[in-house]
Chains A and B, each alone.
Chain A
Amino acid sequence: MNTFLQRCYFALFGLFLAMPLIVVAGVSVNEKQTLAFPPQGFSLSWYGEIFANPEWRSALIASLTLAALSAALALIIALPLAWFLWRRHAPWANVFQLLGIAPFTLPPVITALGFLTFWATTGFYGQPATAVISHAIFFVTLPLVTLSLGFSSIDRSLVEAAATMGADDRTVFRTVVLPLIRPYLVSGYAFAFVLSLNEYIVAYMTVGFTLETLPIKIFNALRYGYTPTMASVTILFVVVAATIFGLVARFGDLPKLLGAMSSRE
């Protein structure tokens, strides 16, 4: 009885999360350019359209490039910071951890407006590189959190052993620390990548008038009417996100990454 109720609740919860996506998936396979559900006819041509139509293709490429570069930059910012905070005893340096978490905690429109005023004042407004830097700062929280978690799970006696055998900091980092935190590096990159791919407001306020990323393209398309390509892109995004998080779960410890201690600890 109890487990039955629980199953029902889980099912309803899942249905609520899946319902909009099911309808969009249905809409995306309509044969003609109509917004109809259940779909009339079956066609995958709207998925082809993402790659065939030059506008959608360039938006896809812009989004992938932005996500790949900004996630990499976020990682490069987060790694030395997380390492320093773990290696050294310097309480004042925690200020930088706070700064790394702040952009993500505040309502995004604030961070976005900060970037807009900054790039407009410095005269770089509209250049593609500004979006990469803005996204890297906006999402630096994610690799910072996963890496801090990664470092805190390292057994310090391992590092001590290496140091006793004469390894200097650099060698210890390369041969002991780096292999141990690799899963956290990968998941930090993955989180930042997926979120950057989906981000709208920061991209819009920095390069909205010069570069169309996919979310910007979808929003612009939404204002000028409906095209089934919006539906197929949506499903593509869901599949990409689910695949990436699925891989993170497959090769890492997802419950632990999300803050749960593993049962053995």
Chain B
Amino acid sequence: MRREPPQKLADYGPLVFPAGMLIVFFVVPFATMIAVSFFRRDPAGFYTPDFVFDNYARFLSLFFGKVLGFSLFLAIAVAICCVVLAVPFTYLLARTRRKTQVLWLVALLSVLSLSEVIIGFAWSTLFSRTAGITNLFVALGLMSEAVALNPSFGAVLTAMVYQALPYTVLVLYPALVRLDPTLTEAARTLGASPLRAFFTVVVPALRNTILATLIMVFIFALGSYLLPQILGRPQHWTLSVLITDQAIYQSNMPFAAAMAVFLVLVTLALVALTVYAGRKGEAA
């Protein structure tokens, strides 16, 4: 059967429901949010329609600059940690037996699907004084007494790496499975050690994939909103936390919407970069 362009009006039939749903419940809400970002806040209700730039003007404060800077820094740190840990792992995983691969994929998917609430709770337990990992160090004689490790920057970073690591592996997985095995074989035949072959052949061959993955993990980490709240101090709050806080607790929806629009612009710019990197990778 050839794919043919729709000829009769009825041929468009299957498209009606999905298109309608996506337009009404995604495009319209998105447009509403953009509109609201120009509205004025109404302390009694949600907002009053208007057309002001006040909400965007608030970005020009030192406080906002600090939050934005920290959010970007945190997301970059998470992305780098995840890619450094995941590239060798995924490379090795793609070369194991199929059964081993499936087992790991199930485990990774299970961790990936875990709610941020659950990840936050699990790590706060692991970092706690009474049930935490420091008790193990005490038992091993490495520490004299158990301490609480959160709230701290390290706790936020560790939990966010935990959250993003399965995602990183699954993003890298297709590219690494398709990687031509003869590449490394050739390097090995020419006398390179496995490590040397990995760094001089595999990593350069995957340069664009790695770059695209970095950006995707970066976007993923930008979306983290609960872990900084559960495991960090207020100075570790990210833009996502601030948006939730303004929308729900300060009931300032216009300002929250303006921040969200800003976050979309940052994300879209990065997605464009990913696509560009991907195109270049295919051409090469």
- Report whether chain A binds chain B: yes
Residues of chain A at the chain B interface (Cβ within 8 Å)? 2, 6, 9-10, 13-14, 16-17, 19-21, 23-24, 26-27, 34-37, 76-78, 80-81, 83-84, 86-90, 93, 96, 99-100, 102-103, 105-110, 112-118, 120-121, 133-134, 136-137, 140, 156-157, 159-160, 163, 172, 194-195, 197-201, 204-205, 208, 215-216, 218-219, 222, 230-231, 234, 237-238, 241-242, 245-246, 249, 254-255, 258-261, 263
Cβ B109 vs Cβ A80 within 8 A: no
What band does the interface of chain B fall in when counting residues whose beta carbon is under 8 Å from A? 35 or more
Cβ A242 vs Cβ B107 within 8 A: yes
Q: Which of B17, B113, B177 contacts A261 (CB 8 A)?
A: B177
Given A89-B5, A110-B263, A96 and B219 touching (CB < 8 A)?
no
Q: At the interface, yes or no: B282 with Cβ under 8 Å from chain A?
A: no
Cβ B178 vs Cβ A260 within 8 A: yes
Cβ B132 vs Cβ A37 within 8 A: yes
Q: Give 13 new A-B contacts, CB below 8 A, not counting A116-B253, A120-B46, A208-B248.
A: A2-B194, A77-B22, A83-B14, A99-B23, A110-B260, A118-B32, A120-B253, A215-B115, A218-B117, A222-B117, A241-B113, A245-B110, A261-B178
Q: Which of A13, A77, A172 contacts B21 (CB 8 A)?
A: A77
Given A81-B15, A109-B244, A160 and B1 touching (CB < 8 A)?
yes
Residues of chain B at the chain A interface (Cβ within 8 Å)? 1-6, 11, 14-15, 17-19, 21-23, 25-30, 32-33, 36, 46, 85, 88-89, 92-94, 98, 101-102, 105-111, 113-126, 128, 130-133, 135, 162, 165-166, 170, 173-174, 177-178, 194, 219, 222-223, 225-226, 230, 240, 243-244, 247-248, 253, 256-257, 260, 263-264, 267, 271
The residues of A that contact B122 with a CB separation of less than 8 Å are 20-21, 23-24, 234
Cβ B243 vs Cβ A6 within 8 A: no
A199 to B19, CA, bound (A): 24
B213 to chain A, nearest CB (A): 13
Cβ B21 vs Cβ A218 within 8 A: no
Cβ A9 vs Cβ B244 within 8 A: no
Cβ B121 vs Cβ A234 within 8 A: yes
What are 16 A-B contacts with C-beta separation under 8 Å?
A9-B88, A23-B132, A35-B128, A77-B17, A88-B11, A103-B26, A108-B223, A108-B225, A109-B263, A134-B25, A156-B1, A200-B115, A208-B248, A231-B121, A245-B105, A249-B105
B196 to chain A, nearest CB (A): 12
Q: Which of A99, A105, A199, A216 contacts B271 (CB 8 A)?
A: A105
The residues of B that contact A24 with a CB separation of less than 8 Å are 121-122, 125
The residues of A that contact B194 with a CB separation of less than 8 Å are 2
Of B22, B27, B89, B102, most buried by chain A (CB within 10 Å of CB) is B22
A246 to B11, CA, bound (A): 38
Cβ A107 vs Cβ B118 within 8 A: no
A197 to chain B, nearest CB (A): 8
Q: Which of A86, A90, A118, A218 contacts B115 (CB 8 A)?
A: A218
The residues of B that contact A26 with a CB separation of less than 8 Å are 131
A137 to chain B, nearest CB (A): 5
Cβ A107 vs Cβ B222 within 8 A: yes
